[in-house]
Amino acid sequence: MDYKASGVDIDAGNETVRRIKGLARATFTPGVLSEIGSFGGLFSLDRAAWRDPILVSSADGVGTKLKIAFMTGRHDTIGIDLVNHCVNDILVQGAVPLFFLDYLATGRLSPDVAEQIVKGLARGCTNNGCALLGGETAEMPGFYAEGEYDVAGFIVGAVEREHLIAGQGIVPGDVLLGLPSSGLHTNGYSLARRIVFDHLKLSVDSHVPELGETVGEALLRPHRSYLPVIQPLLGRGLLKGMAHITGGGVTDNLPRVLPGGIAARVDRQAWRTPSLFRWLGEAGSVPEMDMRRSFNMGIGLILVVAADHVGAVQAALLEAGEANSMVIGATEAGRREVRYA
């Protein structure tokens, strides 16, 4: 009996590392001091570019969106989802990404699948200007079903202390600006899968007239990164707070950036719910409040801005390529909660 017979293929692991080394190296920024394969990734913060930096970190996964990748056999967008989600999580505090680490675990390692995943990770890191510094690939036979895997990401970014966005300056009368999502992003997939595959009995290749595309295409659309349109606003004192709308929707995520004594009034008529969410809600007869707490409902990022800065913020967003920012409500006195109008 040997290790390979027990389900762990060291040669497949080495082949995977060989394939992904070049992908990761292509993302390296000047701060990277190590090579892929080192026990630890080394990164030097450029102190000439930072006066008083605060490091901001986050970790996340893709959740059951992975099931859609398994069903379609397409694995090259999952890495983009993971990077963009993590980038947005630190962006809301004003931080820009420095480097990213990943963890990939599977029952039987497929170099082809691992390469697809890392291609997505590398593309996401390149698009966001951060380095794919390293990671871990774990082969654990008997732990995952055949053909399945899990993946998690860890990001570190930085923000100047004086430019940290923590919501402390939010007062009643500030305006809420919503930025559109690109789809479900990486949340609500357990409910979406139950509606689509268990209730409607559709497959990933089923074409949905209401959506103008297949189920797989609609559900695999990558999580959007807001860094390109928000970065020009960082450090200008125009943003009081930001909320990344993930699990829990607007209902649970917006209060996370509100100080005590402040509530948010959100006008649900301020934007038209995208067809994907309308279709899922109608097909599954999902109560409206459950929809709001399961999905982003078309709003992926919310900015809290002083009323007299709205014009400047929207102009900067437009110049950066975001033409669809919208006023969706305002803050008011009250408990830290979302009130729908």
Tens of pLDDT, residues 180-203: 999 999 999 999 999 999 999 999
> Is the pLDDT at 36 greater than 90, yes or no?
no
Find, among 329, 145, 157, the residue nearest to 255 by Cα: 329
Phi-psi category of residue 188: left, alpha or beta, with phi > 0 → left and psi -120 to 50 → alpha? left
**CA 9/CA 336 separation, integer angstroms:** 52
CATH annotation of 175-340: 3.90.650.10
Cα dihedral sign, 71-207-218-75: positive
Pick the CATH number of 10-163 from 3.40.640.10, 3.30.1330.10, 3.40.50.300, 3.20.20.450: 3.30.1330.10
Q: Which residue has the higher pLDDT, 222 or 14?
A: 222
CB neighbour burial string for 78-101, b if at least 16 within 10 angstroms, e if fewer = bbbbbbbbbbbbbbbbbbbbbbbb
* Contact (Cβ atoms closer than 8 angstroms) between residue 174 and residue 330: yes
Tokens 């949340």 belong to 187
Percent of the chain with pLDDT over 70: 99
pTM for this one? 0.95
CATH 3.30.1330.10 residue window(s) in the chain = 10-163
Query: Model confidence at 210, in pLDDT bands (50, 70, 90)?
Result: very high
**Average pLDDT over all residues of the chain:** 95
The confidence band for 3, taking pLDDT boundaries of 50, 70 and 90, is: low
Residue 196 token pair: 């689509």
Summarised one tens digit per residue, pLDDT across range 147-180 is: 999 999 999 999 999 999 999 899 999 999 999 9
Residue 176: Cβ within 10 Å count: 26
Q: Give 19's pLDDT tier (boundaries 50, 70, 90).
A: confident
β partners of residue 97: 157
| pLDDT at residue 9 greater than cutoff 70 | yes
| Integer Cα distance of 286 and 32 in angstroms | 48
Delimiting residues of CATH 3.90.650.10 domain(s) in the chain: 175-340
Which of 17-26, 236-245, 293-302, 304-313 is least confident?
17-26
pLDDT of residue 314: 98
